[in-house]
Amino acid sequence: MALGPPNEAETCRPCHQATVQAYLTTAHYRTSAVGDSTTVHGPLDPARGRLSTSRVGVSFLMALREGRPTLTATDSARGLSRTEPLDLVIGSGRKGQSYLYWYHGLLFELPVSYLTTANQWINSPGYQDGQVDFTRLIPPRCLECHTTAFEVVENAGTAVYSDNYRLGITCRKCHGDGTAHVEYHATHAGEKTGRAIINPGRLTQDRKLDNCGLCHSGARNLKAPAFRYKPGEPLDNYFAPPADRDNPTPDVHGNQIELLRRSRCFRSSPGMTCTTCHNIHRPERDLTVLAEKCLSCHQNVQHPASAGIGARLKSACIDCHMPLRKSNALQINTATGQGGVYYRSHTIATYPDVAAEIVKTWPDR
Ligand code: HEC
Ligand code: HEC
Ligand code: HEC
Ligand code: HEC
Ligand code: HEC
Ligand code: HEC
Ligand code: HEC
């Protein structure tokens, strides 16, 4: 597998300055990094760098040791203690982060993660409270969704990850290998058409959806080893159909494709894809701006609820029709019960209960 240059985005910068500059601040680019005091968002100070559990004597301490973020798990009842570094960070930190450590050429998940909304350390999703478990192996598929490239190599007869890898999601994940494109344009100044590069904007609707579906169509069984899919190819050659394909309400975590498929917007609009609304090259946080995308198709709608909505038609548009929903797949066990993570449902529809609740919070109603 070709890994590409160490910092691929920089090789595109000379000719796509504005695109690259904005892209470097996106969640895609920041979704994985080497762990240090800037990339780890969880607090490492003595006051807050701690997670207590409901099991007596079991706790976790997160701190900088000689400049490196580390986790120490203590089980004082059994007289056990183990320290591992937060070698790699997974997650830009918009919702949260998980941390991996290297062990004999393999990567394992640390038992503690960080939840941004609560601004605190939590048991990693799926772990029991009070459990000290360092044995959860990170499979290549996890890295396929959260990094650009990882190689599996043989070392003394066993498969390990090569230390030659590329973190962050970079251009090649969606555009393919750009080497020939860069070489061509470096010697053909003035050429107005991009050559020898995949522009997903020119793919068919299905291949466009596949391009995002590599990572946004939920849990799927593999038909081939991870990291084989290339942009422009049919995803079904590499993966079994999504487990949620026949589920009327797919989980909101990581499965925007199946959720969107269930909306009338999608079913009644030939050619609608993710990029109908999303500009992938920059962060998008302004919901009023995103609502403009809805109005590009719904400009003539006499909104049936408009009397009750008034001036907030745009600013609350997304909250009413793509409400936040709790993920059932992401299970977070705390010392006192269960916590949750909320995502936008991409099943765009009318949710009268949600709308009624939102209208209630408006002071002038
Ligand atoms: C030496 C200059 C140069 C470099 C370096 C360069 N490009 Fe381009 N690229 C161009 C030109 C010129 C075009 C055509 C005009 C335009 O669309 O901006 C283009 C167009 C494109 C297009 C649109 C192609 C189409 O079919 O519409 C994509 C996608 C693209 N580049 C991606 C990349 C990526 C990814 C990199 C880095 C790996 C990169 N470029 C590096 C010059 C360059
Ligand atoms: C997550 C997927 C993804 C990544 C990563 C990505 N792009 Fe794109 N890119 C797209 C899509 C999709 C389009 C087509 C947009 C459309 O048609 O609306 C596109 C279009 C382009 C174009 C054509 C002009 C335009 O904006 O439509 C250029 C140039 C480009 N990308 C450069 C880059 C560079 C440089 C990087 C890395 C810094 C990069 N892209 C990373 C998905 C991606
Ligand atoms: C290689 C895997 C991968 C591909 C391909 C990919 N994504 Fe993502 N996407 C992710 C991951 C992982 C995140 C979460 C990043 C984070 O916050 O750590 C994400 C986050 C996002 C977000 C939220 C960004 C934010 O700022 O909160 C949007 C929107 C998105 N992706 C759209 C797309 C679209 C549209 C495409 C196809 C053009 C696409 N993605 C292709 C993996 C991918
Ligand atoms: C099929 C692709 C896929 C796989 C496999 C996957 N993720 Fe994700 N992950 C995503 C996407 C997409 C998002 C963001 C959007 C969402 O959750 O709906 C995300 C979000 C996250 C976030 C939150 C990021 C943030 O800042 O909000 C963390 C942490 C995370 N994943 C960790 C992991 C770990 C650790 C593994 C492997 C053990 C893993 N993921 C496996 C696609 C994937
Ligand atoms: C590509 C065009 C397009 C975009 C973009 C779009 N829609 Fe739609 N939407 C449609 C079409 C077409 C229908 C079906 C109309 C019909 O069947 O009468 C629809 C239906 C709907 C419905 C009725 C759903 C139902 O189940 O009865 C709602 C609500 C809606 N859209 C809201 C939105 C919102 C909010 C956005 C932005 C987040 C949006 N739409 C973006 C084309 C679009
Ligand atoms: C306060 C919540 C709220 C806001 C804000 C809101 N809607 Fe709605 N919308 C509703 C409700 C509730 C209905 C169903 C009303 C009914 O059936 O009587 C609805 C119905 C619709 C329909 C279906 C119309 C039909 O004839 O079936 C469309 C399309 C739609 N909304 C689009 C939008 C778009 C686009 C925006 C933002 C630009 C928006 N809405 C803002 C609550 C809202
Ligand atoms: C009709 C418009 C529309 C379409 C089409 C659309 N999205 Fe979104 N998406 C949104 C809006 C609006 C948000 C909310 C942004 C926010 O909260 O910051 C969003 C948020 C997201 C997020 C962040 C999830 C979260 O809960 O924070 C991801 C990931 C994402 N979209 C991926 C996709 C993918 C992949 C596709 C294609 C299957 C897609 N989107 C299609 C409008 C759209």
What tens digit of pLDDT does each residue of 126-180 get?
899 999 999 999 999 999 999 999 999 999 999 999 999 999 999 999 999 999 9
What's the sign of the alpha-carbon dihedral 233, 239, 243, 246? positive
Reference 144, options 95, 198, 217; nearest CA is 217
Q: Which residue has the tokens 């207590």?
A: 52
32 C-beta closer than 6 A to ligand 3: no
260 C-beta closer than 6 A to ligand 2: no
Atom 39 of ligand 1: nearest residue by CA position:
12
Average pLDDT, the chain: 94
Q: What is the phi-psi region of residue 57: left when phi exceeds 0, alpha when psi lies from -120 to 50, beta otherwise?
A: left
Ligand 4 pocket test: pick from 40, 100, 107, 142 the residue with the most ligand atoms within 8 Å of its Cβ: 142
Expressed in angstroms and rounded, the spacing between residue 336 Cα and the centre of ligand 7 is 32
Q: What is the mean pLDDT of residues 11-35?
A: 98
Binned at pLDDT 50, 70 and 90, residue 365 comes out as low
Ligand 1 pocket test: pick from 13, 16, 171 the residue with the most ligand atoms within 8 Å of its Cβ: 16
Atom 17 of ligand 6: nearest residue by CA position:
304
Q: What is the phi-psi region of residue 227: left when phi exceeds 0, alpha when psi lies from -120 to 50, beta otherwise?
A: left
Reference 254, options 168, 325, 201; nearest CA is 325
What pLDDT is attached to residue 10? 96
User: What's the rounded Cα separation, in Å, for the pair 103 and 342?
Assistant: 33
- Nearest ligand by distance to the CA of 114: 4
173 C-beta closer than 6 A to ligand 3: yes
Atom 15 of ligand 4: nearest residue by CA position:
254
Rounded to whole angstroms, what are the CA distances from 75 to 71, 114, 185, 267, 290?
Answer: 13, 21, 60, 54, 48
Q: What is the mean pLDDT of residues 10-31?
A: 98
Looking at the chain, the whole-number percentage of residues with pLDDT higher than 70 is 99
- The predicted-structure confidence for 191-240, as pLDDT tens digits, reads as follows 999 999 999 999 999 999 999 999 999 999 999 999 999 999 999 999 99
Q: Which atom of ligand 6 is nearest to the CA of 305?
A: 15
Residues 100, 88: contact at Cβ < 8 Å?
yes
Name the maximum alpha-carbon separation found in the chain: 71
Q: What is the mean pLDDT of residues 61-90?
A: 97
Expressed in angstroms and rounded, the spacing between residue 178 Cα and the centre of ligand 7 is 27
Q: Is the pLDDT of residue 186 over 90?
A: yes
What pLDDT is attached to residue 1? 64
Expressed in angstroms and rounded, the spacing between residue 290 Cα and the centre of ligand 6 is 15
325 C-beta closer than 6 A to ligand 2: no
Q: Is the pLDDT of residue 124 over 70?
A: yes
Expressed in angstroms and rounded, the spacing between residue 91 Cα and the centre of ligand 4 is 7
User: What's the rounded Cα separation, in Å, for the pair 342 and 338?
Assistant: 13
Q: Which atom of ligand 5 is nearest to the CA of 317?
A: 35
Higher pLDDT, 120 or 310: 120
Q: Which atom of ligand 6 is nearest to the CA of 313?
A: 5
Binned at pLDDT 50, 70 and 90, residue 85 comes out as very high
Higher pLDDT, 338 or 115: 115
Residues 223, 214: contact at Cβ < 8 Å?
no
What pLDDT is attached to residue 15? 97
Q: Is the pLDDT of residue 255 over 90?
A: yes
CA dihedral 39, 27, 49, 60 (to 10 degrees): -100
Q: What is the mean pLDDT of residues 7-22?
A: 97
Q: What is the phi-psi region of residue 150: left when phi exceeds 0, alpha when psi lies from -120 to 50, beta otherwise?
A: beta
Q: Which residue has the tokens 């080893």?
A: 225
Looking at the chain, the whole-number percentage of residues with pLDDT higher than 90 is 85
Cβ atoms within 10 Å, residue 282: 15
Residue positions counted in the chain: 365
277 C-beta closer than 6 A to ligand 6: no
CA dihedral 277, 279, 285, 289 (to 10 degrees): -50
In our burial notation (b when 16+ CB lie closer than 10 A, e otherwise), range 260-271 reads bbbbebbeeeee
Q: Which residue has the tokens 């959806």?
A: 209
